[in-house]
Amino acid sequence: MSVTSFRSRKPISIVVFLLVFSFLTIGCAENEKTTEVTQPGELLEKNIDKRNGEFNATFSTLDTNHTPKTITFSLNKNAWNLLEKDKLYSLHYVFKHQSKKYSLKEISFSNVTLEDFRETVEEY
């Protein structure tokens, strides 16, 4: 009788384990670390994605370790039309660490120079 009761509990314990594990996985994914960044970026390329019609712009900038990297953002058509190649822009974006995704919050179209960024760094 004890052997039969053990066998009937085994599938239940597996189901309970799977449910608990799935909630832990979902909970960890929701607490994804994000970083908000404001830094200069030079426009390298802009294009329209043929599959979904998104207006994309690729910028050259630096990561947190000051190594060069490129970031591609999807923009609305009006902002995309205002971009000029090889010009420096102030990028304000959010980086989601686990998914390695960037989401642009704001872009400055004013005349931006590296000196502007050096001055703001010195002020803090």
pLDDT digits (tens, 9 = 90+) for 24-77: 444 444 556 777 878 888 899 999 999 999 999 999 887 767 778 888 888 889
pLDDT at position 24:
43
Q: Which residue has the higher pLDDT, 66 or 90?
A: 90
CA dist 117 and 39 (Å) reads 7
CA dist 39 and 31 (Å) reads 25
What are the structural domain ranges in the chain? 1-31, 34-123
Instruction: State mean pLDDT over 79-86.
Output: 87
Q: Write down the pTM of the prediction.
A: 0.60
The Cβ-side half-sphere exposure at 32, using a 13 Å CA radius, reads: 13
How far, in whole angstroms, is CA 105 from its chain's centroid? 11
For domain 34-123, give the fold. OB fold (Dihydrolipoamide Acetyltransferase, E2P) (2.40.50)
Q: Which residue has the higher pLDDT, 15 or 46?
A: 46
pLDDT at position 96:
76
Residue 36, strand partner residues: 94
pLDDT digits (tens, 9 = 90+) for 98-114: 666 777 777 776 666 66
